[in-house]
Structures are given as structure tokens and as C-alpha cells.
Amino acid sequence: MKRFSIIALLVLAPLLARAQAREAGHPSFEALAFAARSLDSTRLDLYLTIPYSAINFERNNGIYVARYQARILVEGNGRKWYDSTFTRTLKTPSYGATIGREPSYEFYQRQVVLPAGTYSASIDLLDLRTNILVPLRQNVIAVDYRASQFGMSSLLLVRKIREEHGTYAITPMLSESIRPDDEAYFLFFETYNSTGREKFRIEAIYRNGGKPVGTRSLFEKAIPAGRSQQWVRMPIATIARGIYTVELRIAAADDTARALATSQRTVRIEGSGNAVSLSEEELEEKMGQLRYVAMQSDIDNIRNAGSLAERQHRYDDFWSRLDPTPGTAENEAMDEYFRRIEYADAHYRSYAQGWLTDMGRAYVIYGQPDNTMNDPFHSDGKAVETWQYYHRGLKLVFLDESGFGDFRFATPLPPGEKYRYGN
């Protein structure tokens, strides 16, 4: 039987960056349980992926620099099994890399061996420039795989599987987000078989709120004795946009009514670049966020439509008019706008949502500044931050009047300024 090799994240980071270019610009954390070398314990594989666009960069002598600190903690059964804190500095000459236009990622990978039990695996990610803390958590059950005749590992999302020199090399996705243009993805897992059987049926089910969604997929597999590595291909053509639990259930081919093992995980099916179907609440939120790109008459035109379907149509039509590449699946202007909204919300939150603050407004309209200067002890005792956009000949000054990080414009923006893609 051919073996699988998981592409090492730290060695082949550029390949993974290209493979994940379209995935969300948020840190992602995976804690996956596999049998250790001895089947009586679990090997916990920890993966941390940090897009450069999730960290705040500062321009210094033509180089963009960011620093972050991460604490990784695995605890359970009344003790800490792994506790490590590290600080790293990221540097890039490319502004595009800092905003996600040129996909760049930081990767971290660790393995921890655990006895059977229930554990919490967590990563606290601290942006040392903004002091914004992002906590990432997962609960994990470690299994004594000798206790049953058939066992199954966690499910790893995989983008590509290819054959190389008699083995299969897999490229993990390391994000639960799946785009429609992916057409399909793979679920990779290990099995531990001591049943004496070799023929099995695997049933794949999507669930939403516990209820099955779409058509169940069935796979007939020959699974050898002992430890083996398996995969199934999961099409998404019939699955609507949303968050689902995908479950694999394995049974013997001659006794399909009794499950020998099950494993499940969360997947997020994303919408395509243009006509994404939104709920009424989602559409209302998106319309509120148009204030930095649309005129009030545009927003009123969408809101005044008589039905949700018509409001959706007018919303899609608004963004279609701004699409720099009409006829393609992507609308780069819309994607970049909402990427800036999300970034501003995460990095400039004060007494209001981050995208509603003055710094958030400036970031959404103009993007990342070419240079920032911080003066925590200005002449009047108030902190000042200055953003410079050299290509615009623009300098923005923010003043912290309250002393609690609530930076406001020292002088207002030029009237009528709006987001324009590519400017």
C-alpha cells in the first residue's frame, strides 16, 4: 500500500501560502488527534497559521516590520502538558504582503504526546504593536486506541493529494474555509484496524444544527490491518454557503448498521466573489458597512427595495459596477473593501467597532499607511499617532484625547473621500 507524507509547514511555507491564497485573512489553529507510536496514547498535532494581513505592520526604512507573541498551552487531567511562549519578528519589503494582496504566512507546528483523557489546547496570539490579543481554543479527546478493535483519528482538511515516487504527498488546508471554486476538498485521516476485516463502508454526512444536509456520500474502502492512512474526496456543488459539521462514519461492509468509528469537524463553505446569497441580517450589516464606498443615495436605493431578493439584487448590482474584472468569479474591489473592514474591526476597536473609529475609517478608505509615527508623550501630554501616505501626499494625525487609546482625527478628512480600489 502506498504511504502518505504530510508536507512540512515550516519547510514548504511558500507552497502552502500559494495554496491558501484565497482563504480568510485570520489566524487559524488546528489541534488534531492521531495515535502515537504506541497505540495506548495520542499524538496531538498543533498547527498555527498566521496571515501577515492579521498582524499590524509598521514601515521602517523601506521595510515593513511586525512583532507578535504566542503562548501555546495544552492542559487536562489536572496538569499542564505543554506550555510555551515565544516572540517572533516578521519583515517584508512588500506592502501587498501586509494586506493580503500578496499571500504571505507565518507557520508554527508542534506535536505533544498525551495519555487518554480530555484536554484543552489553546493559543493566545498577541500583536505587540497594537496589544490586541486573539485567543484560539480547541477541546481534544485523547484516546487509548487499543481499547477498541477499530479506531479513527481526527479529520485533516486537505487541498491537494498527488503521487510522488510511490507515495502520496498531501497539502493541508489548515483553515476550515472552503471556496465554491475549489469544487471539492479531501478529508485525510488514519485508521487503526484489528477487526480481522478488510472491507469497509465510509459514510460522509454534512450536518447543520444536527440535521443532515444534502446527499450522503458513500465510499467502499479496503482498509488493511493495523495503522493505515486514508482519504475521501468531498464535493461541495450541492452544499449551500454556511457552517457545517462534516462527519465520517465507518462500518464493516457486511454490517453497515453498526458504526465502528466516527469522527467529525467543522467546515465553512464560503460564497463566491459576486452574487453571494445573504440572510436579511447579513445584508443589513453589509449595507451599513457601505458608508465608506457608497453614496447615501446608493444605500437608500438598496434599502428601499420591496423584498429581500430585490435588495440582494441591488446590492450585487452596486458591487458589479465596481468590479475591475467583470465576468470572473472574483470581485477584487469588494473583497479588498471587506478585508479592510475586518482588519480595521480587529485592530482599531475602541469605544466603537474598529471600522467605525477614525483610524478604522482612514484604513478602510486609504489602506495601510506607508509610514506611521508614534509619540506617546506629546507636548500637551496626549499621545499622537501620524500616518503618512507618500504616494497621495497625505498626512493624517490622530490624537488620543481620553488617554485610553481612543484616537481621533486632529483635523478632519478631506470632504467626500471614499474607498477606491487600486488607488
Q: Which residue has the higher pLDDT, 5 or 95?
A: 95
- Report the pLDDT value the prediction gives residue 309, as an integer from 0 to 100: 83
Sign of CA dihedral 289, 290, 291, 292: positive
Average pLDDT in the 259-274 region? 79
Distance CA 367, CA 420 (A): 10
Q: Which of 111-125, 130-144, 234-248, 335-349 has the lowest mean pLDDT?
A: 234-248
287-318 in b/e form (b: 16+ CB < 10 A) is: bebbbbbbeeebbebbeeeeeeeebbebbbeb
Task: Provide the grid cell at 137.
Answer: 481554543
Report pLDDT digits (tens) over 379-395. 576 888 899 898 888 99
Asked whether the predicted pLDDT for residue 76 surpasses 90, the reply is yes
Checking DSSP bridges between strand 184-193 and strand 150-152, what pairing results, if any? antiparallel
Decide if pLDDT at 21 tops 60.
Answer: no
Say yes or no: domain 1-147 is CATH 2.60.40.10: yes
- Residue spans of the domains in the chain: they are 1-147, 151-271, 280-409
Which helix (H) or strand (E) segment holds residue 77: the answer is none
Q: Are 179 and 22 in contact (CB under 8 A)?
A: yes
Question: Residue 246 above 80 pLDDT?
Answer: yes
Q: What CATH number belongs to 151-271? A: 2.60.40.10
Indicate whether this model's pTM tops 0.85: no
What percent of the chain shows pLDDT beyond 70? 87
What pLDDT digit, counting tens, does each position of 86-139 carry?
A: 999 999 998 888 877 777 889 889 999 999 999 999 999 998 987 878 899 999
Angle between helices 296-303 and 308-322 (to 10 degrees): 150
Task: Report helix, strand or coil for 272.
Answer: coil
1-147 and 151-271: identical CATH topology: yes
Among 12-21, 176-185, 332-341, 374-383, the minimum mean pLDDT is found in 12-21
pLDDT tier for residue 276 given thresholds of 50, 70 and 90: low
Q: Looking at mean pLDDT, say which of 138-152, 208-222, 332-346 comes out highest.
A: 138-152
